[in-house]
Structure formats: C-alpha cells, structure tokens
Amino acid sequence: MSRLTAGTIVAKRYLAFARVLAQSFQQFHPGIPFFVLLADQPEGCFDPRNEPFHLLTLADLALPGAERLCFRYQQQELSYALTPFLLRYLLDQGFDAAAFFKQESLVLDSLAPILALLDRRAIVLTPHLLAPLSAGDVVRRELNILLSGLYNDGFIGVASQPEARRFLNWWQDRLAEHCRHAVSEGMHYEQRWLDLVPGYFDSVHIVRDPGFNIGHWNLPERQLLFDGERAQIDGQACRFMRFSGFDPDQPQALTRYNAHLSLASIGPATALVTRYHTLLEAAGYQETSAWPYAYGRFDNGVPIPDAARRLYARLGAQHDAFGDPFDSAGRTSFFAWLQQNADLPADPAAPISHLWHDIYQQRADLQAAFPDLAGADRHAFVEWVATRGVHEYAVPAVFIAD
C-alpha cells in the first residue's frame, strides 16, 4: 500500500480519547498520518499544533448545508453521521486507502494484516460476532446484536476504488437524514446500515481474525491472555480493542451497555481497562470533558433542546426558509418560530408554542390526557408543560411561547 491513512471523529470534550487512539496507532504505524475530524468548533480550548494528529474541521470537508446537519443531529449522532464524509475526504486527498476507528479504541499491536487487505479489497468490515455465543444469556445478547447491527463500526476500511466510493456515496446519502437510535424504525445510528453492504457492493472483506475489534459484545467468548506486555486473543495477537460505553468517571465498570459484565468477570482483560483509564487521564480527560459543545446552543447561548432538533428534521425542506438554524436574530429565525404561538385559537392566558405543540403531536399519551387542546384541556396542558414537561425535555423556559 503506497499511501495509507487513518482517522477518527470527536467532539472536543472527547479529545482525550482521540489523543490516546492517535498515539497508540502511531506507536505501531509511525509512518501513517492520523487525522481527527472535529465534529465541533475548537473555540480556543486547545492548540491543534500541539496535538498528536492532524486536525480537520467541518470547514475542511466543505459539506453543503453543514449547519443543517449540525443542527438536526445531537452530538453523538453528528459524530457518527460524519463517518463516510471523513473517509471520502481522505480518499479525495490522494490516499490509496483509509481506515476509520471509533474514538474509544486502543491499538495494541500492528494492524498490518487488516490494512494489507485494502490492497485487494475495496471495503473491509469487522463483525460483532464470529461464532454462536456460549456465555451468559445468549439469546438476549444475539438479539441485541441484531438490533444494533451485524457489523461493528469501530473499524471500517476503504480503498480508493470505484466500488468503495459507490459505497461511501450511498452511506453519505443515508446518514444525511437517517442517523439516529430508532430501533423500531430499523436504525442504530450509522451502524445498522452496514448490514446491507455485503449484499449491495462487491469486493467486501469480512474480517474473521479474533484479535481485531475486541469489545464488550465479544469479550466473554474470547480468551485474552498476556505474553509479557503483549495481549493475545485466542492465541493470536490482540490488535485493537474498543472500549464502547466506558466511562472514565466510573472506571470500575467496563461498559454502561452491559451491567452484567463486571471487571471481575473479564479476567486478564481488566489490565487493559486499567491501562486505558490511565492513558485517558494522562491525555487530559478531566480537562477536556468539561469543554462545551459548540453546536449545543443557539448563537445567543440558549441550549438547543433535542425536541427542537427532531422538529427541525421533520420539517424537511421547509426548514430552508429559516436559513441558518443556529441564528436567533429576527422574527423569521427558527429560534423565533419555536417560541411563537402554534396554529391554535389564541389564548394569551395559556400560550402554546410551536415547539410544545409538536411535542404534544408526537405523544399519544399527552393527546389522551389532554384531548381538547384548543379548548377545555388547554390550561391543564400548559400547566403540565410548566411543571413537568420543561424538566422531562430539558427545554429552556424561553420556548414556552411569545
């Protein structure tokens, strides 16, 4: 492979994770450039020149309608939705292949075997599981995998080939509007879409080496041991591990996604969790985790409720009339529209804003409790908004109504 690159995506509060990943990758691959796409704005919190990676911003990717993408998705969704856009950008810079790693990964050995696959395959995926499960509640665990996706997007590799670009174009198109955790709608962020890839595209390689992409979903079935400082899985090199759901503020738990999987139950793998926690602390986790998210507020500083993001997305092309959704100035802004009275009979004593009317329309229980919103049940609904709704939805009081 003449020119290879790798990268990840983070909001700046997760910069410590990116630092640890980049340093671990470069320890084994010092000649391969590592990029970090910031799904955020630096806001003076750090100096990119001092980081162990090449920083990219959304401006570098020159995405059309980037502000709309940043508004419709909350922080985690945005980071996930940008995955194919980053990979496509890296290929467009002239690299022969690009590898993506989720931010909470740690490289433990050379990745040469998996990277070499990109010499002869367009797309490389890693499955969550390699064999029927044998430990714990196997049916529950397998059903969880079916809901979240057969392939784990903790790693994905693409070569600069037409088939890989076709895949990335398709994935970009899907994630531009469909990257949420909505299991009932068939979505688990960006990951569930990968189930379709082996059927849709040629030149796909599915990695079956147990040493790649270790995580809480497959660790119970894999025997991890140490040969000196070198970790091995089922007798082969443990090349990288993904600490999905690991919270450095709760280091006694491997993941928040499986309460049944304690550190006491994972044997020698506990040493890797301890090592990872130590590396995150050394990389400045306590400082970076307090940094604000630039796309978490309107330009006047008012926090953006998730309900407002969902409403914006449901408006479809109609939201174009508002211009930049982060802009709070003027009566024609999205911010102002959220505050304005919904299309209901006027009642100055019980105003209902567009935002709260939309929340009402999305919930059958509210419609059952307050069926006559234009009349007899209006005041009771407004009281629910003021006493319970604002806390349940974390909606600032400014959005009650004009």
DSSP for 161-211, please give it. SHHHHHHHHHHHHHHTT--SEEGGGTEETBTGGGGGHHHH-SSEEE---TT
pLDDT at 259: 86
Percent of the chain with pLDDT strictly greater than 90: 95
224-249 tens-digit pLDDT: 999 999 999 999 999 999 999 999 99
What is the DSSP code (8-state) at residue 156? E
111 close to 176: Cβ distance less than 8 angstroms: no
pLDDT at 136: 78
Residue ranges of alpha helices (H) inside 46-82 are 58-61, 66-72, 75-81
Residue 205 bridge partners (DSSP): 124
Residue ranges of alpha helices (H) inside 363-397 are 364-369, 378-384, 390-392
Region 372-380 average pLDDT: 97
Q: Can you give the length of the chain in residues?
A: 402
From the list 6, 19, 9, 8, the residue with the least C-alpha distance to 248 is: 19
State yes or no: pLDDT of 1 exceeds 70: no
**Predicted confidence band of residue 2 (pLDDT cuts 50, 70, 90):** low
CATH architecture of the domain 4-288 equals: Alpha-Beta Complex (3.90)
**Predicted confidence band of residue 31 (pLDDT cuts 50, 70, 90):** very high
Residue 37's alpha-carbon distances to 46, 78, 85, 133, 169, in angstroms, are 14, 11, 10, 35, 19
pLDDT at 260: 84
pLDDT at 139: 95
pTM for the model stands at 0.96
Token pair recorded at residue 125: 């995926």
Q: Domain locations in the chain? A: 4-288, 297-399
